[in-house]
Structure 1
Amino acid sequence: MKEPKPWVKPALELGPLLLFFAVFMWKRGETVTLWGQDYTALVFATLVFIPVLAVATLIQWKLTGKLAPMQIATLVLVVVFGGLSVWLNDPRFFKMKPTIIYLLFGVVLGYSLLAGKEWLRLVLGEALPMDAEGWRKLTLRMTLLFFALAVANELVWRFMSETTWVYFKTFGMPVVLFVFLMANAGLYKAHALEKTDEGAE
């Protein structure tokens, strides 16, 4: 299978989210009427986001032949909670979706840590070759991060404006995850398999 160009994967992952943001900002403060039903800008943006994310995920699977567990779980929860928001015309379900996703990831990683499993290595092992202790530390840190993000999402959508939540979802969460991964550079270096093979601690 031919490897897709480097920009394709980020475009397929970020494109639907940026489109969601653009549609929301375009219709913010307005009511969109479809099939005799009035929708807020957020619900309308969610209606656009669901099929676009599904198509982007399908294209990525066709191009690479695989999907990460996180991508599959995200798509399922977007369809379920986004669909409920559109069907019931209630944006709260979609706002709760990140909370459910991060709680799910936190619980799964927490269980893997307690059970002595290295599930995170199965997902990131090719990109980050580390020893068992490195994966244990990274799993613990990511578990705490996901629980913190779940709490943060609840606080933002319940106590701040809808626009603030959209900014937080579109830009805040990805930036936090990026900063987290960069902040753990020392961990990756200290537990790299190459150093282990050379006898380094």
Structure 2
Amino acid sequence: MAKTSWNIRQAALRLVFELGPAVVFFAATKIWGIYAGTIALMASAALSTVVSWYRTRRIPVMPLAGLGLTLLFGGMTLWWRDDQFIKMQPTLVNGISALVLAGALAVKKLPLKAIFGAGTHARTEAWRTLTLALVAFLTLLAVMNEIMWRAFPTDTWAAYKAFVIPTLDGLFVAGAYKYLRANRLDAPEAGDLTEPREAPEPAG
């Protein structure tokens, strides 16, 4: 039970760290415009990553890649004064993440075990099904982002990025934990070599 509570707390913290920069971006864009919002997004995303590392002493690969793309496309937005770059960033983050997960499945890896943390034992088939669901979900987010930034004003897209995407993420994570609980095991399956290491307790 303690491990399950810790895993849920980790997931909640990840959502907070994702929501914070998005809300900062929305507020700055609403008040000062897209370029000020881009600067605010880059700064808050970097700060969020540092705080996350300080608390857990680890940064998963996918959020780190997301930060890198945010800084890259934010920098391109500011350098060329073209907001299309920052608007395309969620499409690329979600699209690349979907491709990475699909590639991992193709070589019989189960990366979601590391994402969801240590102590979550479930049937191998459940991990595969959940990974496929996440690939579909990320692909849907990528398509939705393309529709939103191309078809709607900047303020509408910024609100979508700040509030709709984190809400959908939260619903997916909640559904994923419910699914894992329904397929949980008391111990790893025989021959399971993909079990992650115990996640460290946060500092303080």
Give the TM-score, by structure 1 length: 0.80
> Amino acid of the residue matched to residue 16 of structure 1?
P
Match of 2:98 in 1: 106
Match of 2:47 in 1: 55
Match of 2:29 in 1: 24
Percent identity at matched positions? 29
The question of 1:147 aligning with 2:152 is answered: no
Match of 2:129 in 1: 137
Match of 1:32 in 2: none
- Structure 1 contact 131–191 (Cα < 8 Å) conserved: yes
The question of 1:120 aligning with 2:125 is answered: no
Match of 2:19 in 1: 14
Question: Structure 2 CA distance, aligned partners of 1:140 and 1:11?
Answer: 25
Q: CA deviation at 1:185?
A: 4.9
Specify whether residues 96 and 137 from structure 1 end up closer, same or farther in structure 2 by C-alpha distance, changes over 3 A only: same
Moved more, 49-58 or 136-145: 49-58
> Amino acid of the residue matched to residue 58 of structure 1?
V
Moved more, 14-23 or 106-115: 14-23
Q: Summarize deviations over 1:137-188 as a string: whole Å, max 9, x none.
A: 0000000111111011001101111111111111111111111223345521
Match of 1:83 in 2: 75
Give unpaired runs (5+ residues) of structure 2: 1-8, 190-204
Q: CA deviation at 1:77?
A: 0.3
SS at match of 1:129: coil
Q: CA deviation at 1:25?
A: 1.7
Give the TM-score, by structure 2 length: 0.79
Specify whether residues 103 and 128 from structure 1 end up closer, same or farther in structure 2 by C-alpha distance, changes over 3 A only: same
Question: Structure 2 CA distance, aligned partners of 1:129 and 1:114?
Answer: 21
Question: Structure 2 CA distance, aligned partners of 1:11 and 1:136?
Answer: 27
User: Stretches of 4+ moved more than 6 A in 1?
Assistant: 5-9
Radius of gyration: which is bigger? Answer: 1
Match of 2:152 in 1: 160
Specify whether residues 128 and 172 from structure 1 end up closer, same or farther in structure 2 by C-alpha distance, changes over 3 A only: farther
Q: CA deviation at 1:128?
A: 3.8
Q: What is the aligned counterpart of 1:67 among 49, 59, 66? A: 59
Question: Structure 2 CA distance, aligned partners of 1:109 and 1:8?
Answer: 22
Q: What is the aligned counterpart of 1:191 among 172, 179, 183? A: 183
Question: Structure 2 CA distance, aligned partners of 1:100 and 1:151?
Answer: 10
Question: Structure 2 CA distance, aligned partners of 1:150 and 1:9?
Answer: 20
> Amino acid of the residue matched to residue 80 of structure 2?
L
Specify whether residues 127 and 154 from structure 1 end up closer, same or farther in structure 2 by C-alpha distance, changes over 3 A only: farther
- Structure 1 contact 61–67 (Cα < 8 Å) conserved: yes
> Amino acid of the residue matched to residue 47 of structure 1?
I
> Amino acid of the residue matched to residue 190 of structure 1?
A
Match of 2:202 in 1: none
